Structure 1
Amino acid sequence: MANDQKIQQQQRYRLVLIILTAIVTFLISVELISSWSQPKAQSQLNLYQSDLLLQASEWQPVVEDEAPTQTLSNPLLEADPVAAALKAYRQVRSSVQTDLERMEKTASSDDATAMAQQQNRSQFRDNLDLRIGLLLAQSDQVEDAIATWSPLTTSQTTVSNDSAAASSLMGLWSDPPQLLPNAQQSIQSQLSGWFEDQALERLFTLSQRQDDLTTLQIDQQITASNALVRVVTINGLTLVGNGVGVIILLFWLIRSWRQRTWASSSTPSPHPLQDFQTPPADVDVEPTAEASTIDESKVYLAQTSLANSVLWPPDLIWQVMVLWFIAFFAVSLSIPVLIYVLGIKPTALGARPQAYLAFSNYAILVVVGLSILIWSLKGFLSTPFKWFRIRWQGNWLVWGMSGYFAALPLVILIALLNQKILGDQGGGNPLLELIIQSHDPVTAGLLFIMVAVLAPVFEEILFRGFFLTSLTRYLPMWGAIGISGIVFAIAHLNLADILPLSVLGCVLGFVYSRSRNLLSSMLLHSLWNSGSFLSLLILGSSAR
């Protein structure tokens, strides 16, 4: 009778898990499908990078005899920054136009949110046309530039500021030129960076405002010098990092080949992945059904493999991951609902309030996620967090650093392949734009703590410390690494991120499985997020 009740309880438990899994699968599918219709964040980053290259290309060295100088030629810059920027802007413009056409077919006139999104995309397209026209004008394609600006002056859907800026630009490049009264104000309100400088330089030259032109050129050289430093920093570190990463990957491959060659010439191991899973200095300890009577600290310190430390059935792995995804969606949806009830529009908030919201949202997710882990593992471990492999001793620092460099060329290569497959669609992390806009120390500090501290610690505990380790009890090591990497990527809920983050997740899993220390994968994760964060800040400076 007792066995029947236990079987019935188990069946009900699994039925609940199946239902929750179906809900999670549905929500993830909806998010991924919706991300397909969103512009890829990388496309916007390409525009920031193009703007930075345009600014850097204007730098000219100081010559004592004041002889005319040519625009800087640097191997770290594009051969023709204007042509490269024009290509990037046209690609994004084409993607935006496709989005608008899709919105016009699907949006309802009663849907205020859809109409607002359509209007925002339309304004973004018009601003792109302003910049594309300037790039054409600077490429001596003046007729094409005027043809690009002309529709903005007559379209009823174009906002007045864009229309005024387009009229001012057309006047500056017309033959003969026509200087509109409010040309400077309209240009400065709609353009920034290199684009604003080029338009103002043309205006001051035609209106013979020599003092303003001289001041502009001095400011332009200062900006160009700063931009050049940023470009050299980003490109130089990327080149060096990729070179070091390739060397480390080759070293790992040669070492693995030599180990396999040595193993094949000696006594065969009972498991094809035993050498990969088992450090030779460990002591064999097999868990028993009386897990609660085992000294867990000794079990932790004397494992033959990650698999032998797992004392729970597959259902518990299933339970933890499903509950975490449910909590993720619940927290992610509850805060926007609360903001909506309070009548607050997130888009109307500045960067700092948005950073507070993002930080609070993620902090709640961390607390809920850790609570789920503790509650789920409590029945098997009296002190769950002693089970996680976090040790300050050992070579975790070397593994974390080498893993970071090894991940660079792999993820970049996959990202380029991903760009070919998805084009400019697939969405992206919404934090990217917020980080770029974080121009004050408080906002930048909050976001940095979030992406470089909270995310690496929690996500490594969940995806590598618990999920990957648990899978090794029932799967080969490479299978556990692959599945945990894919789930890690899917958890970011963007199609554009799945392939690159799957590769990153696999490198994180490999480093953890080799070092047997979560500090190594936490360090790798933190270095990766920190590098991306600093790169975004540098790119964002070009938009100021």
Structure 2
Amino acid sequence: MSVEPETSSPFSLRRIILGVLTLLVALVIGQALVNSWQEPQIASRLQLYQTDLLLEASEWDSSTLPEQSVTTIRQGLLGNDPIQTSLQQYQEVKATAEANLEASQNSGDGAMPGLPTDEAPQVPKRLRNAWQQQQQLVQQLDMRIGLLQAERGNLKQAQAAWSQLSQAADVQPGIQQTAQVLSRLWQEPAQVMPEAETQVQTYLDGWFRYRALERLYQVAGDDAAREALLAQERDAAEQTLLRLAVIGILPFLGGLAGTALLLFVVLQRWLQREQSWLMTNAGVTWDTPWSWEIIWQVLIVGFFFLGQIFLPLILGSLGLGLASLGSRGRALYATLYYLLMAAGGLAVLFFSIRAYRPLPPDWFRIDWKGGWRWGLGGYLAALPLMFGISLVNQQLWQGQGGSNPLLQTVLEENDAIALALFFFTAAIAAPVFEEILFRGFLLPSLTRYLPVSAAIGASSLLFATAHLSLSEVLPLTVLGIVLGTIYTRCRNLLAPILLHSAWNSITMAGLLLLGAG
């Protein structure tokens, strides 16, 4: 095994190239993080999806169950007044979205116009798209808030919301026409506009669609259609109640188990001290034969430059992009993009360290018989930590800071093949590649220069920053610390891969349950 000399010239060609690439990467990554500052998080959408499930389940037909059981189920899953609860949540999300829109318009040098179009080329396209999505979100919220107000008998507030949408000049035409339909249905005397049913079917879904269609059939005097609609809604409500139970109960039970595990680990650390699980290999560094220059090279060239600059430029020059692709095309593009990035990154890693083979013990070790216990335990321990950090993060960013775009795509995707491709990318490709790079290579390499705890922290921060969303830096750093702690204790790369895969898989499963319908 050869060892790289530490006395190479500070002005060698390789270091000059690495320095230039580092500056370029810093500019690109920095700009991406700054842009994410004004982008909305997916958390608001997730909250609304769960609220919609609550509304759908509130129409559950409980006549076949004992009254005491019904009361327990309704209070436990739906609360005392699901309509009022949903109205409050919609109003809170609307207030946050409006505040974000105002902040976007007033940010920087005032470049964000009232309507983000080509008249403001200085505003990045990604920001303009995010701004437009927020504006449409506010319009959809107003339309739905009107329906919630109408359901509670507050017709004056409902008509005010729909009237504003009907008269505003910058409202999406479909939303504007649907607001006019709703306004006519709930006015006195009520009227059914032409194409009213088509508008409702197109621009409303779930509980809101049922309420609008029920009112339409009632005004039209079509009792048969109304009865069929209500029967369909009761069947859907029963299925939704099951989904709501899974979404609410399973994470709660997992969080309880994780909390119990954390308390046990802390207690064991206090009682057994150096013989506890938490202190296993806690201060043991890896035997790292290469210097910081190899670490720098793999991280900058193998991950950031290839994945965030080179590949987008190459694919863009070939005319390959997401805009013109359908559902399956976007999923295939995302999968191939990630596989190419992983292949490039692993190739750079291989050629950077091949001169040091055979590697010292514990490097990239995978033990198929072990690792499962550490991976599962790490996942459970991460649950309560991530729940707590998410609450802090939500207060810190107030719905801004960006999110992984894959989450929103999965939430709204209905094609099974596309979902399978997204699942493969998130649950298999990403955990394997990212754990090999950040835990398998970066973390052990840093222990040549840092204590193990500091190496875990540094590698976790870089892991979080690589996801290019400011709002994800804190939670992903915490997740990275859990992954790094697990890996340094068991010295088995399979454990963080399994933990990472479980985290992404269960997150995607939750999104599918929220978005199914």
TM-score w.r.t. structure 1 length? 0.85
User: Partner of 1:450 in structure 2?
Assistant: 425
TM-score w.r.t. structure 2 length? 0.89
Pick one of 135, 156, 160 that aligns with 1:122. 135
Deviations 1:93-134 (A, max 9, x none): 234334544348424653475766655543333222111111
* 1:263-274 paired onto structure 2 within 5 Å: none
Matched, 1:327 2:306: yes
Pick one of 439, 443, 458 that aligns with 1:468. 443
CA distance in 1, matches of 2:417, 2:493: 29
* 1:499-514 paired onto structure 2 within 5 Å: 499-514=474-489
Matched, 1:110 2:119: yes
CA distance in 2, matches of 1:200, 1:183: 9
Is the 2:191–2:219 contact (alpha carbons within 8 Å) kept by the matching residues of 1?
no
CA distance in 1, matches of 2:153, 2:406: 38
CA distance in 1, matches of 2:119, 2:279: 63
Matched, 1:352 2:328: yes
Deviations 1:292-347 (A, max 9, x none): xxxxxxxxxxxxx86343111122212211112111212452266246x46x6x34
CA distance in 2, matches of 1:147, 1:336: 48
Closer/same/farther in 2, CA of residues 503 and 103 from structure 1, 3 Å limit = same
Pick one of 271, 276, 281 that aligns with 1:277. 281
CA distance in 1, matches of 2:504, 2:304: 22
Is the 1:134–1:195 contact (alpha carbons within 8 Å) kept by the matching residues of 2?
yes
User: Partner of 1:207 in structure 2?
Assistant: 220
Is the 1:355–1:434 contact (alpha carbons within 8 Å) kept by the matching residues of 2?
no
CA distance in 1, matches of 2:442, 2:151: 55
User: Partner of 2:295 in structure 1?
Assistant: 317
- The range that moved more, 101-110 or 185-194, is 101-110
Matched, 1:401 2:406: no
Is the 1:307–1:469 contact (alpha carbons within 8 Å) kept by the matching residues of 2?
yes
Quote the sequence identity (%).
Answer: 37
User: Partner of 2:367 in structure 1?
Assistant: 391
User: Partner of 1:376 in structure 2?
Assistant: 352
Deviations 1:243-301 (A, max 9, x none): 100011011111111232779xxxxxxxxx995427xxxxxxxxxxxxxxxxxxxxxxx
Deviations 1:13-52 (A, max 9, x none): 4343333322222222111111111011111111111111
User: Partner of 2:19 in structure 1?
Assistant: 18
User: Partner of 2:43 in structure 1?
Assistant: 42
How large is the RMSD of aligned CA atoms in angstroms?
2.9
User: Partner of 1:88 in structure 2?
Assistant: 89
Letter in 1 for 2:111: T
Q: Higher Cα Rg: structure 1 or 2?
A: 1
Letter in 2 for 1:62: S
User: Partner of 1:193 in structure 2?
Assistant: 206
Secondary structure at 1:378's aligned position in 2? helix
- For structure 2, the 5+ residue unaligned runs are none
CA distance in 2, matches of 1:477, 1:99: 40
Letter in 1 for 2:28: L
Closer/same/farther in 2, CA of residues 64 and 497 from structure 1, 3 Å limit = closer
User: Partner of 2:267 in structure 1?
Assistant: 254
Is the 2:375–2:499 contact (alpha carbons within 8 Å) kept by the matching residues of 1?
yes
Please state how far the C-alpha of 1:523 moved relative to its aligned partner: 0.7
Matched, 1:132 2:137: no
Is the 2:285–2:451 contact (alpha carbons within 8 Å) kept by the matching residues of 1?
no
Please state how far the C-alpha of 1:217 moved relative to its aligned partner: 0.8
Deviations 1:114-172 (A, max 9, x none): 76665554333322211111112122222111111101112222233222211111122
CA distance in 1, matches of 2:168, 2:436: 54
CA distance in 2, matches of 1:405, 1:447: 24
Secondary structure at 1:75's aligned position in 2? helix
* 1:296-307 paired onto structure 2 within 5 Å: 307=285
Deviations 1:433-491 (A, max 9, x none): 11122322211111111111111111110111111111122211111111111111111
CA distance in 1, matches of 2:241, 2:310: 42
Secondary structure at 1:73's aligned position in 2? helix
- The range that moved more, 13-22 or 135-144, is 13-22
Pick one of 231, 234, 238 that aligns with 1:225. 238
- The range that moved more, 355-364 or 117-126, is 117-126
User: Partner of 1:415 in structure 2?
Assistant: 390
User: Partner of 1:515 in structure 2?
Assistant: 490
- The range that moved more, 371-380 or 250-259, is 250-259
CA distance in 1, matches of 2:58, 2:314: 44
User: Partner of 1:295 in structure 2?
Assistant: none
CA distance in 2, matches of 1:92, 1:335: 39
Letter in 2 for 1:333: P
Is the 1:204–1:212 contact (alpha carbons within 8 Å) kept by the matching residues of 2?
yes
* 1:328-343 paired onto structure 2 within 5 Å: 328-331=307-310, 333-334=312-313, 337-338=316-317, 341=319
Please state how far the C-alpha of 1:201 moved relative to its aligned partner: 1.2
